[in-house]
Amino acid sequence: MTASGAWHPDPYGEASWRLWDGQAWTGHTAPARETPDLQPLTIALGKSVKLDQQFGAGTDTLKCEETPVGLMHKPHIGDITAETASGAWVFDREGIVTGRARVQVEPSRQEIALFSWDGIGTGTDGTLQFLDGRWFRLTRATQLAQEGVTSPADYDPQHQIWVWYGPDRAPISTVRLAIRSSTKKIFGKEITYTSSSTGKTGSDIWTDMHPAAANTRELPVLTMLSTYLIWWHTTQREAMLRDRL
Protein backbone atom coordinates (compact mmCIF):
# COMPACT_ATOMS: atom_id res chain seq x y z
CA MET A 1 0.00 0.00 0.00
CA THR A 2 1.28 3.50 -0.80
CA ALA A 3 2.65 5.73 1.95
CA SER A 4 0.56 8.65 0.68
CA GLY A 5 -3.19 8.80 0.35
CA ALA A 6 -4.81 7.21 -2.72
CA TRP A 7 -7.99 5.49 -3.92
CA HIS A 8 -7.87 1.69 -4.06
CA PRO A 9 -10.37 -1.12 -4.73
CA ASP A 10 -12.51 -1.41 -1.61
CA PRO A 11 -11.57 -4.65 0.21
CA TYR A 12 -14.69 -4.61 2.40
CA GLY A 13 -17.51 -5.17 -0.09
CA GLU A 14 -19.22 -1.87 0.67
CA ALA A 15 -18.16 0.11 -2.40
CA SER A 16 -15.94 -0.02 -5.49
CA TRP A 17 -13.26 2.38 -4.22
CA ARG A 18 -12.02 3.28 -0.75
CA LEU A 19 -9.56 5.98 0.25
CA TRP A 20 -6.30 4.90 1.89
CA ASP A 21 -4.85 7.84 3.85
CA GLY A 22 -1.31 6.50 3.88
CA GLN A 23 -1.71 4.67 7.18
CA ALA A 24 -5.18 3.15 7.26
CA TRP A 25 -8.42 2.76 5.34
CA THR A 26 -10.81 5.67 5.71
CA GLY A 27 -14.60 5.79 5.58
CA HIS A 28 -14.49 7.62 2.25
CA THR A 29 -15.81 5.45 -0.60
CA ALA A 30 -16.82 5.85 -4.24
CA PRO A 31 -18.93 3.79 -6.67
CA ALA A 32 -17.76 2.13 -9.89
CA ARG A 33 -19.84 4.61 -11.88
CA GLU A 34 -22.63 7.05 -11.33
CA THR A 35 -25.98 5.26 -11.04
CA PRO A 36 -28.57 8.05 -10.62
CA ASP A 37 -31.46 5.57 -10.96
CA LEU A 38 -30.35 3.64 -7.87
CA GLN A 39 -30.95 4.70 -4.28
CA PRO A 40 -28.53 3.66 -1.50
CA LEU A 41 -29.25 0.22 -0.10
CA THR A 42 -29.46 1.84 3.34
CA ILE A 43 -33.04 2.94 2.55
CA ALA A 44 -33.97 -0.74 2.94
CA LEU A 45 -32.76 -1.00 6.55
CA GLY A 46 -35.61 -2.43 8.63
CA LYS A 47 -37.50 -3.24 5.43
CA SER A 48 -37.44 -5.79 2.63
CA VAL A 49 -36.23 -5.78 -0.96
CA LYS A 50 -37.54 -7.88 -3.86
CA LEU A 51 -35.91 -8.96 -7.11
CA ASP A 52 -37.89 -7.75 -10.12
CA GLN A 53 -36.99 -10.45 -12.65
CA GLN A 54 -36.90 -10.22 -16.41
CA PHE A 55 -37.29 -13.16 -18.78
CA GLY A 56 -34.04 -14.62 -20.08
CA ALA A 57 -30.72 -12.80 -20.09
CA GLY A 58 -30.65 -9.11 -19.25
CA THR A 59 -30.85 -7.01 -16.12
CA ASP A 60 -32.96 -7.76 -13.04
CA THR A 61 -33.68 -4.96 -10.57
CA LEU A 62 -33.65 -5.19 -6.78
CA LYS A 63 -36.35 -2.91 -5.37
CA CYS A 64 -37.38 -1.60 -1.97
CA GLU A 65 -41.02 -0.55 -2.12
CA GLU A 66 -40.69 -0.04 -5.90
CA THR A 67 -37.50 2.04 -5.50
CA PRO A 68 -34.50 0.49 -7.33
CA VAL A 69 -31.53 -0.20 -5.05
CA GLY A 70 -29.59 -2.78 -7.08
CA LEU A 71 -29.05 -4.25 -10.53
CA MET A 72 -28.11 -7.80 -11.49
CA HIS A 73 -26.75 -8.10 -15.03
CA LYS A 74 -27.15 -11.69 -16.33
CA PRO A 75 -25.58 -12.39 -19.73
CA HIS A 76 -26.33 -15.63 -21.60
CA ILE A 77 -22.77 -16.73 -20.88
CA GLY A 78 -20.05 -15.34 -18.66
CA ASP A 79 -19.93 -13.89 -15.19
CA ILE A 80 -22.62 -11.94 -13.36
CA THR A 81 -22.20 -8.25 -12.56
CA ALA A 82 -24.12 -6.76 -9.63
CA GLU A 83 -24.43 -3.04 -8.93
CA THR A 84 -25.61 -0.83 -6.10
CA ALA A 85 -25.34 2.93 -5.65
CA SER A 86 -22.12 2.39 -3.67
CA GLY A 87 -20.29 -0.14 -5.81
CA ALA A 88 -20.26 -3.05 -8.24
CA TRP A 89 -18.97 -6.63 -8.14
CA VAL A 90 -18.45 -9.56 -10.49
CA PHE A 91 -19.52 -13.05 -9.39
CA ASP A 92 -17.78 -16.07 -10.87
CA ARG A 93 -20.60 -18.04 -12.51
CA GLU A 94 -18.50 -21.16 -13.17
CA GLY A 95 -17.20 -21.09 -9.60
CA ILE A 96 -20.73 -21.06 -8.23
CA VAL A 97 -21.45 -24.24 -10.17
CA THR A 98 -18.24 -25.99 -9.09
CA GLY A 99 -18.48 -24.86 -5.46
CA ARG A 100 -15.95 -22.02 -5.07
CA ALA A 101 -16.83 -18.64 -6.58
CA ARG A 102 -14.56 -15.59 -6.71
CA VAL A 103 -15.97 -12.15 -5.85
CA GLN A 104 -14.22 -9.32 -7.66
CA VAL A 105 -14.79 -5.59 -7.19
CA GLU A 106 -15.50 -3.52 -10.29
CA PRO A 107 -13.97 -1.86 -12.26
CA SER A 108 -10.53 -3.02 -11.06
CA ARG A 109 -11.49 -6.74 -11.12
CA GLN A 110 -9.52 -7.22 -7.91
CA GLU A 111 -10.57 -10.32 -6.01
CA ILE A 112 -11.76 -9.50 -2.47
CA ALA A 113 -13.50 -12.69 -1.34
CA LEU A 114 -14.33 -16.30 -2.13
CA PHE A 115 -17.72 -17.94 -1.64
CA SER A 116 -17.73 -21.69 -1.03
CA TRP A 117 -20.69 -24.05 -0.83
CA ASP A 118 -20.43 -26.62 1.94
CA GLY A 119 -20.81 -29.21 -0.81
CA ILE A 120 -20.01 -28.77 -4.48
CA GLY A 121 -22.82 -26.85 -6.14
CA THR A 122 -25.29 -27.80 -3.42
CA GLY A 123 -27.11 -24.48 -3.22
CA THR A 124 -27.73 -25.14 0.46
CA ASP A 125 -25.27 -23.54 2.92
CA GLY A 126 -22.00 -21.73 2.30
CA THR A 127 -19.37 -19.27 3.55
CA LEU A 128 -18.09 -15.99 2.13
CA GLN A 129 -14.43 -15.63 3.15
CA PHE A 130 -12.67 -12.29 2.64
CA LEU A 131 -8.95 -12.20 1.96
CA ASP A 132 -8.26 -10.52 5.33
CA GLY A 133 -10.00 -13.30 7.26
CA ARG A 134 -13.49 -11.84 7.71
CA TRP A 135 -16.28 -14.33 7.04
CA PHE A 136 -20.05 -14.54 6.74
CA ARG A 137 -22.30 -17.61 6.58
CA LEU A 138 -25.36 -18.08 4.37
CA THR A 139 -27.34 -20.83 6.07
CA ARG A 140 -30.78 -22.36 5.69
CA ALA A 141 -33.13 -21.40 8.49
CA THR A 142 -33.56 -25.06 9.37
CA GLN A 143 -29.83 -25.24 10.24
CA LEU A 144 -29.57 -22.06 12.33
CA ALA A 145 -30.02 -23.70 15.73
CA GLN A 146 -27.24 -26.18 14.96
CA GLU A 147 -24.92 -23.26 14.21
CA GLY A 148 -25.82 -21.31 17.35
CA VAL A 149 -27.94 -18.67 15.62
CA THR A 150 -31.42 -17.60 16.76
CA SER A 151 -33.96 -17.39 13.96
CA PRO A 152 -34.79 -13.71 13.33
CA ALA A 153 -38.51 -14.37 12.74
CA ASP A 154 -41.23 -16.98 12.44
CA TYR A 155 -41.37 -17.50 8.72
CA ASP A 156 -44.00 -19.16 6.57
CA PRO A 157 -43.02 -22.85 6.45
CA GLN A 158 -43.98 -22.83 2.76
CA HIS A 159 -41.06 -20.48 2.07
CA GLN A 160 -37.45 -21.54 1.63
CA ILE A 161 -35.26 -19.42 3.91
CA TRP A 162 -31.55 -18.58 4.08
CA VAL A 163 -29.91 -16.26 6.66
CA TRP A 164 -26.64 -14.29 6.55
CA TYR A 165 -24.74 -14.04 9.84
CA GLY A 166 -21.18 -13.25 10.94
CA PRO A 167 -18.88 -14.26 13.82
CA ASP A 168 -21.18 -12.65 16.41
CA ARG A 169 -24.00 -14.99 15.27
CA ALA A 170 -26.44 -12.06 14.86
CA PRO A 171 -28.72 -12.45 11.79
CA ILE A 172 -27.95 -9.73 9.25
CA SER A 173 -30.50 -10.44 6.56
CA THR A 174 -32.81 -13.20 5.39
CA VAL A 175 -33.27 -14.33 1.80
CA ARG A 176 -36.56 -16.10 1.22
CA LEU A 177 -38.44 -17.63 -1.65
CA ALA A 178 -42.15 -16.78 -1.66
CA ILE A 179 -44.07 -19.09 -3.95
CA ARG A 180 -45.78 -17.18 -6.73
CA SER A 181 -48.65 -19.13 -8.22
CA SER A 182 -50.12 -18.21 -11.57
CA THR A 183 -52.90 -19.65 -13.66
CA LYS A 184 -53.19 -20.20 -17.39
CA LYS A 185 -56.14 -21.39 -19.43
CA ILE A 186 -55.00 -24.31 -21.58
CA PHE A 187 -57.58 -25.98 -23.82
CA GLY A 188 -60.28 -24.31 -21.76
CA LYS A 189 -58.94 -25.55 -18.41
CA GLU A 190 -57.34 -23.38 -15.70
CA ILE A 191 -53.85 -24.70 -14.93
CA THR A 192 -51.85 -23.51 -11.89
CA TYR A 193 -48.08 -23.37 -12.29
CA THR A 194 -45.23 -22.02 -10.15
CA SER A 195 -42.08 -22.21 -12.28
CA SER A 196 -40.63 -20.85 -15.47
CA SER A 197 -38.07 -22.15 -17.97
CA THR A 198 -36.93 -18.75 -19.21
CA GLY A 199 -34.48 -17.60 -16.53
CA LYS A 200 -37.18 -16.28 -14.24
CA THR A 201 -37.84 -18.19 -11.04
CA GLY A 202 -41.29 -19.45 -10.14
CA SER A 203 -40.91 -17.89 -6.68
CA ASP A 204 -40.32 -14.28 -5.71
CA ILE A 205 -36.92 -13.65 -4.11
CA TRP A 206 -37.12 -11.35 -1.09
CA THR A 207 -34.43 -10.12 1.31
CA ASP A 208 -35.44 -8.93 4.79
CA MET A 209 -33.02 -6.58 6.59
CA HIS A 210 -32.53 -7.19 10.32
CA PRO A 211 -31.12 -4.74 12.94
CA ALA A 212 -27.54 -6.02 12.55
CA ALA A 213 -27.61 -4.94 8.89
CA ALA A 214 -27.26 -1.28 9.95
CA ASN A 215 -23.76 -2.00 11.29
CA THR A 216 -22.61 -4.30 8.50
CA ARG A 217 -20.51 -2.40 5.98
CA GLU A 218 -20.40 -5.49 3.76
CA LEU A 219 -24.21 -5.36 3.36
CA PRO A 220 -24.18 -4.32 -0.35
CA VAL A 221 -22.06 -7.25 -1.53
CA LEU A 222 -23.82 -9.70 0.82
CA THR A 223 -27.23 -8.66 -0.49
CA MET A 224 -26.32 -8.83 -4.16
CA LEU A 225 -24.38 -12.09 -3.82
CA SER A 226 -27.13 -13.95 -1.96
CA THR A 227 -29.75 -12.66 -4.39
CA TYR A 228 -27.78 -14.16 -7.25
CA LEU A 229 -26.95 -17.39 -5.39
CA ILE A 230 -30.59 -18.08 -4.54
CA TRP A 231 -31.71 -17.13 -8.05
CA TRP A 232 -29.16 -19.58 -9.48
CA HIS A 233 -30.05 -22.33 -7.00
CA THR A 234 -33.78 -21.92 -7.69
CA THR A 235 -33.51 -21.91 -11.49
CA GLN A 236 -31.36 -25.05 -11.37
CA ARG A 237 -33.76 -26.84 -9.01
CA GLU A 238 -36.81 -25.87 -11.07
CA ALA A 239 -35.09 -27.08 -14.27
CA MET A 240 -34.43 -30.47 -12.65
CA LEU A 241 -38.06 -30.75 -11.56
CA ARG A 242 -39.26 -29.95 -15.08
CA ASP A 243 -36.93 -32.59 -16.56
CA ARG A 244 -38.56 -35.23 -14.34
CA LEU A 245 -42.03 -34.50 -15.68
The phi, psi pair for 200, rounded to 5°, reads -120, 120
Query: For residue 106, what are the CA distances in angstroms to 8, 24, 31, 164?
Result: 11, 21, 9, 23
Helix/strand/coil for 74: strand
Q: Is the pTM of this model over 0.85?
A: yes
pLDDT of residue 47: 96
Is the previous residue joined to 107 through a cis bond, with omega within 30 degrees of 0? Answer: yes
Q: Consecutive sets of 10 residues in the chain, 245 residues long: mean pLDDT of each?
A: 81 96 95 92 96 86 96 92 97 88 96 90 83 96 92 78 96 87 48 46 88 97 95 75 53
How many whole angstroms separate alpha carbon 33 and alpha carbon 173? 26
Which contacts of 18-27 are long-range, i.e. CB under 8 A and separated by 24 or more positions?
Answer: none
SS3 category, 154: coil
Look at residue 155 in the predicted model and tell me its pLDDT.
76
Task: Give the per-residue pLDDT at 197.
Answer: 42
